[in-house]
Structure 1
Amino acid sequence: MADVSLLSASDQSDPTIRKLVQVTGWAVTLIGCLVALLLLRDDPVQWGRVVLNLCAGLVGVAALALVHLRRWLLAAHVLVWGVWVFVSLVAAGNGGVKGPNLLNYPVLIVLSGWLLGGRATMCLLALTGGLFGFFLWADARGALPVTPANNHYAYAAYLAGIVGLTATATLLSRRSYLGRVGEAQDMAADLAARDTELRKLLRVVEQSPESTVITDLQGRIEFVNDAFVARTGYARSEVIGQLSSAFSGNGLAPAQLAGLQETLARGESWAGEQANVRKDGVTIWESVVVAPIRQPDGRISHHVELKQDMSERKRAAEEIHRLAHFDPLTSLPNRSMLIERLTGLQARHQRAPDALNALLLLDLDRFTTFNDARGSEMGDRLLCAVALRLSERLGGQDLLVRVAADEFGIVLHGLSADAAAAGRRALVFAEQVAQALAQPLPLGLQAGDAAEEAQLQASIGITLYPQGVDDLPLNAMGRAGTALHRAKHGGGARAAFFEQGMGEVAAQRFHLERDLRHAIGAQELRLYVQPQVDGRGEFTGGEALVRWQHPRDGLVPPGVFIPVAEESDLIVGLGDWVLAQACAVLAMPAFSQRRLRMSVNLSARQFRQASFVPNLRALLATTGADPTLLTLEVTEGLVIEDFDDAVAKMRELVAMGLEFALDDFGTGYSSLAYLKRLPIRELKIDRSFVTEAPTNADDGALVEAILSVASHFGLRVVAEGVETREQVRFLEQRQPDMVYQGYLFGRPEPVAQWVERLAL
């Protein structure tokens, strides 16, 4: 059956064998017919020999007919066995072993070997050997006929046909052999290349940094690479033949393990993460892919596990999470964790309303002063000590976070379902926190090092949370921040509870700041001027003031928007606008020709700008204003905060011709040592002293002292808030060349009207 199947395969793919069947069929047909025709020339004609050769020719015809029907195997059998039968009959009639027909048998054996395979050829060889034995036995007893005289033409045709067929079969066989040799060589080269690729692939797998495990379908390990050995600590001999589950999948939950098995049962790949354990007990996190290995027929024979070590990535992710949710200095949760906790409390409250919680924002009083005086390292120690002291006051579910800088947040859980009771408990806790912080805080690096201590106080803002289903964490933080702001402005060292009115005020301030920011660039600001006069009532100059013409609210008083501007960065832009408008007015002929002075208030934030001096110099050059007519009013607080820098800037501006006035003199430090070093040309007496000076002895004495100081230093004096003749007489008696500013001589009015009045 093996030979038949092989021949059948050859029939389909080997053109040489098919060609050999065709050539043999034609050769047998031609030789048989030609020999039969030539035998007809014998005299007498031996009809038996003629018929046998014709029958042999007909065997060739039958084979060719089968070839036409593409029945290659049957055609080969007909050729070999049919020719053998008729050749044997012819040989028996021609004298057996003494006849000329024995040449056919080697040819038939060769053809059988190529066409029918080994088993048929062995049968043919055995039959031929038996036939030869019979011929010898019969010839020895004289049983075979005498070899007849040969027809030379027929014999020549027979020999030529046999030789031609033998040569043709040999050449075709040689070509087939060479083709097979070439195919074998190509196959060998292909196998060598495949072997090289396989070896390369094996080296890749062996040297891969990712752990690779191959198991059979029962999960028993058949192969592990070096990365697996290095990562797990197990030797190959310890794992080969063992179940993979004994070394992998330790971090899988039962549901995940079931999902893995179901996925593999479907012939699909599974991917996931596992927390596996090394031989030494250390846990390693791995990203695992388990995939089926299929044979060429599609059958799954093995599974491969590819494992990537993600322990470092896991640790990095945990560190990123820690940095994103915890403060690196105090190790407390940070603002993000506070938002998450408040969000969770709101979600739980929506599912089942329960006891109210409280959010406390705590800010350390004068921490900046401590940090500047003692250094940032001691400031960090103080923050850590505060964090430790506060954490000791918390309950099991409460949360302490560091919100920012010296601000901490505390979430108190489940105070009471009654808002009043919850508020009282929150205030009691705030008082306890204040008392705890009032105790000395050790600042040593170690617990036993108490050489460094600090005491401080804190301001606390409190709000209840959640206040309804729509209350968001940011809303709660805004309320607590508003309460904290109120506590600090109340002097610090106190707790303030949020009230609804506080939120409304904060909202109003927010809208006011937003509108003011828009107003500076939207031409909504107006420059007003309040006149300054001498004792004869003649104009000596004026003070530039700003007003805001709101498109909806009308003229906004300065007492409303100036404090908002001073608490934000808007005061710089506002001050620059006033200064630019004042310089433009100074350049007008009505001012410059009459040599009237213009006074402009400077804010501390505006004056501290590094570009203030060059910007003012450029402004004067652009507008053409005379710097000798410009007076800049500064406060004692502005000067004292950074004295050396302030004096340097003032001297630079004085060198340009500008003059400085010390505003609100007597309400601050009023240090003569500072006054002596300042390039001041003018003192302005605050209206709080002027108002009661004629009737209040104390205020009168203060005014006289200020005038004495001004006289000693040779300074010009301007009295603010002059509203009565009595005040004028009091001041005039003590300082004849006094300059007056107040409602008695003129209220602030738009600059256009004021300039128009000057021109009359």
Structure 2
Amino acid sequence: MAEAPAVPLPDHEDATTRHLVRVAGWAVMLLGFVIGLLLLRDEPVQPVRVALNFAAGCIGGTALLLARWRRWTLATHLLVWGVWVSVSLVAARNGGVNGPNLLNYPVIIVLAGWLLGVRATLTLVGLTALLFLGFIWADIQGLLKPVQVANRLAGAVYFAGILALTAAATLLSRRNYMSRVREAQQTAANLAASEASLRKLLRAVEQSPEAIVIIDLREDIEYVNEAFVRRTGYARDEVVGRSSADYSSNGLAPAQREGLRTTLARGDSWAGEQVNYRKDGQALIESVVVSPIRQPDGRVSHYVELKQDITERKRAADEIHRLVHFDSLTSLPNRSTLMERLHALRGRPGRVLSTQHALLLLDLDRFTTFNDARGSEMGDRLLCAVALRLSEILPPQDLLVRVAGDEFAVVLHGLGADASLAGRHALAFAEKLQTALLRPLRLEGDAQDAQLGASVGITLYPQTADDGAHDALRRAGTALHRAKQAGGGRAAFFEQGMGEAAEQRFRVERELRHAIGAGELRLHLQSQVDVSGQITGAEVLVRWQHPRDGLVAPGVFIPVAEESDLIVSLGEWVLARACALLAQPVFSERRLRLSVNLSARQFRQAGFVRQLQAVLAATGADPRLLTLEVTEGLVIDDFDDAVAKMRALAALGVDMSLDDFGTGYSSLAYLKRLPIQELKIDRSFVHEAPTNADDGVLVEGILSVARHFGLRVVAEGVETQAQADFLRQRAPDIVYQGYLFSRPEPDAQWLARLTQPA
């Protein structure tokens, strides 16, 4: 709605007009009374003329009183019309058109123009003209008395007063005129500044990157800026004058629109998100603020919509949410979602448990082998196929998660309050998962079907009122570890003893990490002897001298180290100390060898050969007296890399030994390509060789292979003379290692015994 125009003040209420009323009032009052008093000196006194002048003076005084009381309208009318009547009566007495009083009329008309406005002035001019016509007619008819020369002093005062009043009116008029000129100039300057501000505001609105829409109280669009046109695809003439609901806010649901109207009806601003639609039908997510536009009197005349396009921001937020809560490869929920779900299932701490849930951790068996053989791309496709297969059998209310790598998790909801029944249900579902994965999986781009088993660790959750998500995941991981240790393809429930074992492993790992740097590790040596009983070297073994628990057996801490990154640090420490020991003169003098076991992680490091070369150089050890022992499994996992490193070590003069030969693949095709110099017969074959025909045949076969390839043979675990005789009869150059000849002992003690005189 348009704003009503402001009503201007009446002319007699401006400052100049009020001054003019006061000046005219004083002039009339003074002239009237002074001339009246002067006329009293005439001989004879003319009472009518005196009375008329006093009447004019009273009119001026009354006008001043009304002005003092701020009755300006009444004062101006009394002043103009009262003086006009008085002057007209005096003029009639003073000869009409031939008298001196006609000079009053121009002054009165000027005053009327300033004080009463156009209509009253025109009325006054008309009446004055009629009066003049009457005077002329009366003069022609001889009805008017001839002009009488009165008191000359009164006449002089009269003329001086008329001149003074005329001058005052003229000066006031000029001042008023100049004031209005200045006001007009200031108004023009203000208008120019306002126009410039309006143009600037219009440009800002028009060029704003955010869409701006102005609508009237009927919700019809009156204005849209360029951003709205560009963003929605609508032209201005398509939307101006049309309903906002069809163009600007065409995605608002009825309930949301009603809420918007209710807010605006209260005079408040509305803010929220809207999903509106472009001209081409594409959705547009906008953050919208709708505010009322108020006029100076407080009335709401329009509404303005400020619309920010947040489509890309919402998409980015959705993408971030997806990345945070979902796996990018399989699109399954990820570990973060799993933890949130487990936390939600626990409920409030301390609450009585009403139902059991189950957490299943599933790990694919032999996935690493598949990934190495087929490549990482096929490995990724296999994981996606597994995710799809598991999703097909997952109940709708349950959760399937990819935790990491080839590890998945399933949360089974609401299995009941009976833990025994819940456990049986979870175990049955685990078997269902394993059966589903045993069915061949067809992978795109691979002619061969994939078929992998899975190991599953199971725990019920929550087990106590304060059971946490991390506790459940730890229990399930422990159970999964047990299932894999059992050979894979198994499902294992978490038991309390397993948790205690896990805590023990964690404690050992933490303390072992400290022990490596704290000097708590010790080297022990176990002698290797020939058939004549002469020491030919020793195998380096590591022991842990715990400050609280004493000497810790290798079976306690070595498996823990192998499961973590500690095996690398531990192996580097052993190798460095062994090389330092090998630098002792007794080894080079008696050509004694030292054998050091290598872990798979340590051997597979890219810089292993360079590290060993640096250690040899730093210690001064003879590499020709060093033997490094590796297992068959380590070699087979990455055969080409293993062969390359073995050849690089052989170039340094280091011998390689294949440890525990016969327990792994024992492929002659692999063996003939390996640059090794020694085989070690595993103690499990040596133990029963004299009494068990099968073990005896296996040992004879290993000895035959060694002779064929020209390899040294070391037999581990020789504990009886019968075992030693059995081996000596079949391999006179065999080397023994076992309790029959020597137990492991500290390196210093071994060296001292070695250097003792015979």
- The TM tier, using the shorter chain, reads 0.7 to 0.9
Unaligned runs of 5+ in 1: none
Map 1:1-150 onto structure 2 (within 5 A).
Answer: 5-7=9-11, 9-10=13-14, 14=15, 16-21=16-21, 23-24=23-24, 80-81=80-81, 83-84=83-84, 86-122=86-122, 124-149=124-149
SS at match of 1:440: coil
Cα deviations by residue, 1:83-139 (Å, 9 ceiling, x for unpaired) = 545544543443222122212211121123223433543454455345434433443
User: In 1, are the aligned partners of 2:214 and 2:224 still within 8 Å (CA)?
Assistant: no
User: How far off is 1:572 after superposition?
Assistant: 0.4
Counterpart for residue 547 of structure 1: 543
Partner amino acid, structure 1, of 2:569: G
User: How far off is 1:557 after superposition?
Assistant: 0.9
Counterpart for residue 638 of structure 1: 634
User: How far off is 1:558 after superposition?
Assistant: 0.6
Counterpart for residue 574 of structure 2: 578
Q: Does 1:223 align with 2:219?
A: no
User: In 2, are the aligned partners of 1:234 and 1:279 still within 8 Å (CA)?
Assistant: no
Cα deviations by residue, 1:701-745 (Å, 9 ceiling, x for unpaired) = 555555555555555444433434554555555666654433344
User: In 2, are the aligned partners of 1:205 and 1:225 still within 8 Å (CA)?
Assistant: no
Counterpart for residue 290 of structure 1: 290
Q: Does 1:479 align with 2:475?
A: yes
Q: Does 1:598 align with 2:594?
A: yes
- 1:653–1:220 CA distance, 2 compared to 1 (3 A): closer
SS at match of 1:441: coil
User: In 1, are the aligned partners of 2:215 and 2:303 still within 8 Å (CA)?
Assistant: yes
Q: Does 1:464 align with 2:460?
A: yes
User: In 2, are the aligned partners of 1:252 and 1:274 still within 8 Å (CA)?
Assistant: no
Counterpart for residue 487 of structure 2: 491
Which residue among 551, 564, 567 is the counterpart of 2:563?
567
User: How far off is 1:53 after superposition?
Assistant: 6.2
User: In 2, are the aligned partners of 1:229 and 1:235 still within 8 Å (CA)?
Assistant: no
Q: Does 1:616 align with 2:612?
A: yes
- 1:277–1:174 CA distance, 2 compared to 1 (3 A): same
TM-score (norm 2): 0.83
User: How far off is 1:596 after superposition?
Assistant: 4.5
What is the rounded CA distance, in whole Å, between the counterparts of 1:453 and 1:251 in structure 2? 52
User: In 2, are the aligned partners of 1:213 and 1:221 still within 8 Å (CA)?
Assistant: no
Q: Does 1:522 align with 2:514?
A: no
Bigger Cα displacement from structure 2, 346-355 vs 322-331: 346-355
User: How far off is 1:612 after superposition?
Assistant: 1.9
Partner amino acid, structure 1, of 2:638: D
User: In 1, are the aligned partners of 2:527 and 2:742 still within 8 Å (CA)?
Assistant: yes
Bigger Cα displacement from structure 2, 697-706 vs 182-191: 697-706
What is the rounded CA distance, in whole Å, between the counterparts of 2:393 and 2:710 in structure 1? 61
Partner amino acid, structure 2, of 1:231: T
Map 1:99-248 onto structure 2 (within 5 A).
Answer: 99-122=99-122, 124-149=124-149, 158-159=158-159, 161-195=161-195, 197-198=197-198, 201=201, 212-217=212-217, 219-223=218-222, 225=224, 227=228, 231=232, 240=241, 244=245, 248=249
User: How far off is 1:266 after superposition?
Assistant: 2.3
SS at match of 2:146: coil
User: In 1, are the aligned partners of 2:232 and 2:277 still within 8 Å (CA)?
Assistant: no
- 1:733–1:452 CA distance, 2 compared to 1 (3 A): closer
SS at match of 2:148: coil
User: How far off is 1:576 after superposition?
Assistant: 0.9
Map 1:609-758 onto structure 2 (within 5 A).
Answer: 609-671=605-667, 674-696=670-692, 698-700=694-696, 702-703=698-699, 706-707=702-703, 709-710=705-706, 715-731=711-727, 739-757=735-753
Partner amino acid, structure 2, of 1:223: E
User: In 1, are the aligned partners of 2:39 and 2:46 still within 8 Å (CA)?
Assistant: yes
- 1:354–1:386 CA distance, 2 compared to 1 (3 A): same
SS at match of 1:146: coil
CA RMSD across the alignment: 4.4
- 1:687–1:368 CA distance, 2 compared to 1 (3 A): closer
User: How far off is 1:301 after superposition?
Assistant: 2.7
Partner amino acid, structure 1, of 2:474: G
User: How far off is 1:29 after superposition?
Assistant: 6.7
SS at match of 2:522: strand
User: In 2, are the aligned partners of 1:224 and 1:236 still within 8 Å (CA)?
Assistant: no
Cα deviations by residue, 1:543-601 (Å, 9 ceiling, x for unpaired) = 33222233443322111111121122111011111122223333456656666443322
User: In 2, are the aligned partners of 1:458 and 1:492 still within 8 Å (CA)?
Assistant: yes
User: In 2, are the aligned partners of 1:526 and 1:548 still within 8 Å (CA)?
Assistant: yes
What is the rounded CA distance, in whole Å, between the counterparts of 1:350 and 1:223 in structure 2? 61
User: How far off is 1:297 after superposition?
Assistant: 1.2
User: How far off is 1:334 after superposition?
Assistant: 4.0
- 1:409–1:715 CA distance, 2 compared to 1 (3 A): closer
SS at match of 1:501: helix
Counterpart for residue 3 of structure 2: none
How many correspondences in the alignment? 749
Cα deviations by residue, 1:620-653 (Å, 9 ceiling, x for unpaired) = 3334444444333333333343333333333433
Cα deviations by residue, 1:128-157 (Å, 9 ceiling, x for unpaired) = 345434433443444433223377776566
Partner amino acid, structure 2, of 1:563: P
Cα deviations by residue, 1:396-442 (Å, 9 ceiling, x for unpaired) = 43444444443333344444543333333333333344333333334
Partner amino acid, structure 1, of 2:525: V
What is the rounded CA distance, in whole Å, between the counterparts of 1:716 and 1:385 in structure 2? 49
SS at match of 1:289: strand
User: In 2, are the aligned partners of 1:324 and 1:336 still within 8 Å (CA)?
Assistant: yes
What is the rounded CA distance, in whole Å, between the counterparts of 2:386 and 2:7 in structure 1? 96
User: In 2, are the aligned partners of 1:354 and 1:414 still within 8 Å (CA)?
Assistant: no
Partner amino acid, structure 2, of 1:565: A
SS at match of 1:437: helix
- 1:244–1:196 CA distance, 2 compared to 1 (3 A): farther
User: How far off is 1:369 after superposition?
Assistant: 3.0
TM-score (norm 1): 0.83
What is the rounded CA distance, in whole Å, between the counterparts of 1:614 and 1:3 in structure 2? 99
User: In 2, are the aligned partners of 1:3 and 1:117 still within 8 Å (CA)?
Assistant: no
